[in-house]
Amino acid sequence: MATENFRLKKQGTQYVHAGAEPDPSTGAIMTPIFQTSTFVQDAPGVNKGFEYARSQNPTRTKLEEALAIIENGNYGLAFSSGVAATDAVIKLLNPGDEVIAAADMYGGTYRLFTKVFERFGIKFIYVDTTNTAAVENAITGKTKLIWVETPTNPMMNITDIAAMAGIAKKAKAWLCVDNTFASPYLQNPLNLGADIVMHSSTKYLSGHSDVIQGALVMNNKELRDQLYFIQKSCGAVPGPFDCFLVLRGIKTLHVRMRQHCENGRQVAAFLHAHPKVDKVFWCGLESNPGYEIAKKQMKDFGGMMSFTLKDDSQEAALKVLTSTRVFSLAESLGGVESLINHPATMTHASIPREERLKTGLTDGLIRLSLGIEDPEDLIADLNQALA
Ligand SMILES: *Cc1c(COP(=O)(O)O)cnc(C)c1O
């Protein structure tokens, strides 16, 4: 478990050293990849804390310690994907329980809730969580969980985490925050009163577009024990090599995030001033409705943004999407390389068009995941694609 000393250090120092004591058997500075399914016992029940690798694996244990440290929580749990982590949280519930979920959230979360868990008798109520009063009004005696994502994908809406925590506490419900878009470097929901933080570690935590993984972090021991029981019983655990990759990613999270944020600032300013661009959705722009709350609960504004052209048609957007040379046309986000995406036909194609339009997700919307390249090249690339 994390020591108090670690928590006193600066964020970057924590990230480099999180979960990384030298291996006691060899002195290896990097956590070894324990590629094993089982562990030899001295006598039945007498072991070194490891029995079978679905229940515990030393590489995963080190990663789980690191996850707790970087989210300033007591306990971390790693899962085989972000949606597997979400799946574990919903398995805390029983038929008849109600969940208040953000109306504007990751499509895969929406699909898991509506297409899988509704069949098990769990009720999901979708609310605009940027509207605190609307969330308060949706609370009933059956509300067990509030599920929030901030900033959202792809509209960059901001929800007030501390306000949600207040509502959840009053309702005796849990608050879970999907912190994937911000990353622990920019935002720590547990500090703001959330009960559980969820990550798609696939994105900024790994940072190199080479692994699928998820994470949960919490403070409450009882909640940790319940979620650990689900992790072990349902079995959506990541392999040791994937745990090693995420541990390695965490070491450079602060350095990467600083460049993602700097690129965000420069590209947002460029797009904002470009004559062909209509709206820019980035929480660091003062014109963004969530700007004040983002400033309050985030350290900086990140490298995810969306924009529309004055010609807000699919044809005009596709022209830009297929003309970039530095930006690659792909789904996903949070890697060192910049990506460009067309939400209407790619990441958000499963959401009906009328529903999409209600949240502002038009056929012309373009989403960017800014990598850590030099901003001059990113701007030059967008400039030639817009021309
Ligand atoms: C990618 C993503 C997920 C799902 O994570 P996977 O690792 O792909 O399973 C959940 N939430 C957000 C915000 C994401 O971007």
What is residue 141's DSSP assignment? Answer: T
Of 91, 203, 256, 356, the active-site residue reads: 203
Catalytically annotated residue among 54, 265, 299, 319: 54
- At 319 the three-state DSSP class reads helix
Q: Classify residue 196 by its DSSP letter.
A: E
- Taking only the tens place, the pLDDT of each residue in 248-272 is 999 999 999 999 999 999 999 999 9
pTM: predicted TM-score of the whole model, two decimal places: 0.95
Question: Would you state the pLDDT for residue 7?
Answer: 56
**Summary mean pLDDT of the chain:** 95
Give mean pLDDT, residues 131-148.
98
Query: Is it the case that residue 8 has pLDDT exceeding 80?
Result: no
Q: Is 54 a catalytic residue?
A: yes
* CA separation for the pair 36, 53 (Å, rounded): 7
Cβ of residue 113 lying under 6 Å from some atom of ligand 1: no
Candidate from 7-11, 163-167, 179-183, 232-236 with smallest mean pLDDT: 7-11
Q: How confident is the model at residue 10 (pLDDT cuts 50, 70, 90)?
A: confident
Is there a catalytic annotation at residue 178? yes
What is the pLDDT averaged over residues 313-326?
Answer: 96
Report the run of H or E that residue 146 belongs to, with start and end.
Answer: strand 143-149
- Confidence check: pLDDT of 88 > 50: yes
Residue 192 CB contacts under 8 Å (≥ 6 apart), including other chains? 161, 162, 165, 297
Specify the ligand 1 atom closest to the Cα of 109: 10
- Hunting for tokens 């890697």 — which residue is that? 335
Alpha carbon distance, N-terminus to C-terminus of the chain: 54
The CB of 335 under 6 Å from ligand 1? The reply is no
Encoded tokens for 213: 């993984």
Percentage of the chain lying above the pLDDT 90 cut: 87
Residue closest to 197 by CA, chosen among 50, 333, 297: 297
Residue 1's pLDDT band (boundaries 50, 70, 90)? very low
What 3-state DSSP class applies to 339?
Answer: strand
What is the C-alpha separation between 150 and 129, in angstroms, rounded? 9
- Is residue 291 annotated as part of the catalytic site, yes or no? no
Q: How far is CA 147 from CA 45, 96, 157, 195, in A?
A: 39, 17, 15, 11
Query: Which atom in ligand 1 lies closest to the alpha carbon of residue 213?
Result: 7
* Cβ 347 under 6 angstroms from ligand 1: no
- Side chain identity, residue 365: L
Phi, psi of 148, deg, nearest 5: -130, 145
Q: Please, are residues 197 and 179 in contact by the beta-carbon 8 Å criterion?
A: yes
Report d(CA 384, CA 96) in Å as an integer: 54
Mean pLDDT over 302-326 rounds to 96
To test the pocket of ligand 1, the residue of 158, 180, 216 to mutate (highest count of ligand atoms within 8 Å of its CB) is 180
Please choose from 83, 112, 210 the residue to mutate so as to test ligand 1's pocket, defined by most ligand atoms within 8 A of CB: 83
pLDDT at 5 over 70: no
Residue 206 Cβ contacting ligand 1 at under 6 Å: no
Q: Contact 302/333 with Cβ under 8 angstroms? A: no
pLDDT tier at 210 (50, 70, 90 boundaries)?
Answer: very high
Closest ligand 1 atom to Cα of 152: 13
pLDDT at position 113, please?
97
| Strands ordered across the beta sheet of 339-341 | 277-281, 304-309, 366-369, 339-341, 328-329
Specify the pLDDT at position 20. 81
How many angstroms separate the CA atoms of 164 and 175, rounded? Answer: 7
Query: How far apart are the C-alpha atoms of 185 and 24, rounded to whole Å?
Result: 29
The per-residue pLDDT for 21 is 85
Measuring CA to CA, how many Å separate 291 from each of 47, 157, 160, 186?
52, 9, 11, 14
Angstrom distance (rounded) from CA 291 to CA 275: 23
Q: Give residue 2's pLDDT band: very low, low, confident or very high (50, 70, 90).
A: very low
CA distance to 91, 140, 216, 286, per residue, from 145 (Å) = 11, 11, 15, 32
Q: Locate all alpha helices (DSSP H) within 187-234, ordered by sequence.
A: 221-234
Peptide bond into 154 cis (omega under 30): yes
41-46 mean pLDDT: 92
Q: Which domains occur in the chain, in start order?
A: 11-251 (3.40.640.10), 254-386 (3.90.1150.10)
What percentage of the chain reaches a pLDDT higher than 70? 98
Nearest C-alpha to atom 9 of ligand 1 is from which residue?
82
Question: Which residue has the least CA distance to atom 11 on ligand 1?
Answer: 106
User: Does 106 sit in the ligand 1 pocket, CB within 6 Å?
Assistant: yes
The pLDDT of 70-75, averaged and rounded, is: 97
CB atoms < 10 A from the CB of 235, how many?
11
pLDDT tier at 3 (50, 70, 90 boundaries)? very low
C-alpha–C-alpha distance, residues 293 and 161, integer Å: 9
pLDDT tens for 277-311 read: 999 999 999 989 999 999 999 999 999 999 999 99
Q: What distance in Å separates the CA atoms of residue 50 and residue 38, rounded to the nearest whole number? A: 8
pLDDT value at residue 83: 98
Whether 199 lines ligand 1, by a CB cut-off of 6 Å, is: no
Least confident of 2-16, 55-69, 139-153: 2-16
Annotated active-site residue 87? The verdict is no
Burial class (CB within 10 angstroms; exposed 0-12, middle 13-18, buried 19+) of 50? middle
